[in-house]
Amino acid sequence: MKKIRVVIAGYGNVGRGVRQALARACDMELAGIVSRSPERVKKELGDAVPVLPIADAGAWTAAFRPDVAILCGGSKQDLPKQGPELVRAVNTVDSFDNHSRLPEHFHAMDDAAKATGHVSVISTGWDPGIFSLERTLANAFLGVRAYGFYGMTPKGGLSMGHSDALRTIEGVQDARQYTHAIPEAVERVRRGENPDFQPGDMHTRECFIVAKPGADLDKIRKTVVEMPGYFAPYKTTIHFVTQEELNEKYAGFPHDGLVIASGKTGDAGHSADIEYHCRWGSNPEATANVLVAHARAAARLAAEGRKGAYTILNIPPAYLSPLDQEELLAHWM
């Protein structure tokens, strides 16, 4: 069986998770890694994996002969620029997670992919991604709004996209952002109220920031709370901490989330509730595993001659699985 050849584009926490997920995939193989900092990656991995600069897509696509590249950059600055550039050279999968700009990203990737006959699977992880599918299914079955909540534990859940957004701010050395679901909001949905929530009604955000020496803390704080698409609509608490405190007290990348829909069925008005809950010990590894499944789907779509942008909502679930049709019918239906 010819294995799907995958390139990892960008090697941080998600890229590391992708490498581990590919090692467990029976039908896929890691062709190479491309990075803005190839020497850093080579220092970490040694000679275990070939590494090339990401800037010269012509060189690394010729060297690695990939079927698909998994783009592991950040949503705020990396993916909007890298995505349309790289999909002109190869089929891509990304985890772009800024919900407010998702239509814009879809159309940019769709135009670039169609121009060169490639496939781009965008915004896939667990949200957007798995939870997007669960919201759509719940709405289709019950005809009501399905709500997504994140950070169900007292500590909350670590958001990679929001943490990355914090690190792009001038004067920020390092940062982590935890999302907290508002318990009363969760219960209102479970009671079947179907409230007209705005984003800030459902979650709060808590930021732990390491500032660079001499940085203007008031300016950093103002930039955070006013950042559109990330923090502006939310109650946001900011803590300035040392690098040692961040590394010791806020190590690891746990996260979790819940999709809830509550409605009625039939003329008698029988209650109906749908809940889907994910608990992740490692947010980046969870995202990486979903990305790898969608890389399989991207390769299959491309083999059929498809082109353009797709989301999880446009992809048959069987395309995500390494199992064939007979196995799926016999054991998973």
The pLDDT value given to residue 217: 98
Nearest to 54 by CA among 78, 28, 75, 76: 78
Class for domain 133-282, per CATH?
Answer: alpha beta
In 10 A of CB 218, how many CB atoms? 8
The pLDDT value given to residue 9: 98
The pLDDT value given to residue 1: 75
Indicate whether 245 pLDDT > 80. yes
pLDDT tier, 161 (very low <50, low <70, confident <90, very high otherwise): confident
How would you classify the pairing of strands 172-181 and 203-211?
Answer: antiparallel
**Mean pLDDT rounded to a whole number for the chain:** 96
pTM of the model: 0.91
Domain ranges of the chain: 4-127+284-327, 133-282
Residues with Cβ within 8 Å of residue 12, at least 6 apart in sequence:
72, 284
DSSP for 233-265, written as a single string: TSEEEEEE--HHHHHHHS-SB-EEEEEEEEEEE
Q: Which residues does residue 279 pair with via DSSP β-bridges, in sequence order?
A: 256
Residues with Cβ within 8 Å of residue 145, at least 6 apart in sequence:
139, 194, 261
pLDDT per residue over 111-156, tens digit each? 999 999 999 999 999 999 999 999 999 999 999 999 999 999 989 9
Positive/negative CA dihedral, 230, 187, 285, 91: negative
The pLDDT value given to residue 298: 98
3.40.50.1010, 3.40.50.720, 3.30.565.10, 3.90.380.10: which CATH number matches 4-127+284-327? Answer: 3.40.50.720
Evaluate whether 41 touches 11 at the Cβ level (below 8 Å).
Answer: yes
pLDDT per residue over 69-101, tens digit each? 999 999 989 999 999 999 999 999 999 999 889
What does the DSSP 8-state code read for residue 95? -
- Residues in the chain, overall count: 333
